[in-house]
Amino acid sequence: METHIILVVGSILLSGGCIGLLIVRFTNPFFQGVGWLGASFACGALGAAVFTLRFGQNGNLPLSLAYGLILLALILLHVCFLEITGYSVQLPRLGTVVFLLQALAFFVFRHSRNIREVSIAVFGVAVAAQVTQCAWQLKKTNQEGMDAPVWFNIALLVGLGMFSLARSAIVLIVGTPTNPQLPNPLEATASVVFLGAAIGLGFGVFWMEGHQIRLKLEHLASIDPLTGIYNRRSFIALCEQELLRTSRSGEIFSLIMFDLDHFKAINDRHGHRFGDVVLCEVVEKLRNSVRNIDIVGRWGGEEFVVLLPNADAEAALIVAHRLQYHVDSISMASPRAHGMEGENRITVTLSIGVATYFGHDPTITIHDLLHECDSAMYQAKAEGRDRIVSVNAPLALVR
């Protein structure tokens, strides 16, 4: 009777959770996978309810049906994790196979005297296979900043799989009571474990959702919406981290700041929408000019900045000249051109300033370095634009 009470309480809890999850799904579009989690809870609640019929009628069909519903709940949980991690929502192949094997085992052994033991053993193996695949999927798709909730869910899934295998082994060795209405500590423990795992995994899903929403908001707060590179605030924060690191290690780094020449004229003559297209094209050339470890950002308007870790003045100039060469190749058709040759092509030039930090100088701040870089850029503008000025490199290297 203890198992019966646990199953009834579990069915009520999971039913309430299902209703709450469906309400969240239809009222909050930011939560991914919640609908599938609600469906998983519904199957679990129905499975627990059907399982109680076995105690009242002593039939084998309710037992197999209940196991099938619980296994389906785990498959739907896997689909929930697929949606959360950004994968295309599809029915897991392994889950489909083990679900069909569970049903096939019942029809093959339905007249056997050991149908209960066989059903439990097959169910335990199927659960272990399904949760192992789900845990592996979570590990494979783990994103930066998601370690805690992901490994929490993996631990629950692996623990549930190990318990299911151990339960199957015990049942095959010891057997089950001939009278299902007699107290059965193993079945009571299984009911508690599966119910606890369901509640824990539901919490784990919301933990993952919360982390994902936080990471998305942080990303939106740090990225320039037009160009997709770091905004000014985030770029300064990254520069401060690099300055702190290099001031301790004695390494060097360089900064590049550049401005699009006569960009206001492009906006005035061809429209701000076309100006945005030009900015995005310049950023694309910028990405092609730097290394993977370099950090690029939008300083404001048509001004951009680059952080070059472990780059001295000469290396920074090489990057600056490469950037200048790539941007000089831009030739875009104006949307306001009327078939006039020579006036329907837009070219872009840059005024570039370069500054280098040589390490082991606690008196220098990142704002000092950015000011030096900014001054060099405006010096390039004062000298006629379309040129590079370096604070630290010899004049021969600049030319």
For residues 260 and 282, the answer to whether their CB atoms sit within 8 Å is: yes
The structure tokens listed for 258 are: 């550049």
* Whole-number Cα distances in Å, 287 to 277, 304, 386: 15, 12, 19
Residue 283 half-sphere exposure toward CB, CA atoms < 13 A: 23
pLDDT at 247: 85
Cβ neighbors of 5 (< 8 A, separation 6 or more) are none
Dihedral, CA atoms, 308, 312, 315, 319, nearest 10 degrees?
Answer: 30
The structure tokens listed for 137 are: 């999927």
pLDDT at 348: 93
Domains plus CATH for the chain?
A: 2-222 (1.20.1070), 232-398 (3.30.70.270)
pLDDT at 327: 94
pLDDT at 399: 45
Q: Alpha-carbon torsion 107, 135, 211, 202, what sign?
A: positive
pLDDT at 181: 57
> Could you tell me the mean pLDDT of each successive run of 10 residues in the chain, 399 residues long?
77 90 83 88 90 62 83 92 80 78 73 73 90 92 86 95 92 71 75 92 91 84 92 94 88 94 90 92 94 94 95 93 93 68 75 90 87 94 93 54
3-class SS at 52? helix
Cβ of 56: how many Cβ atoms within 10 Å? Answer: 11
Return the amino acid letter for 81: F
pLDDT at 326: 94
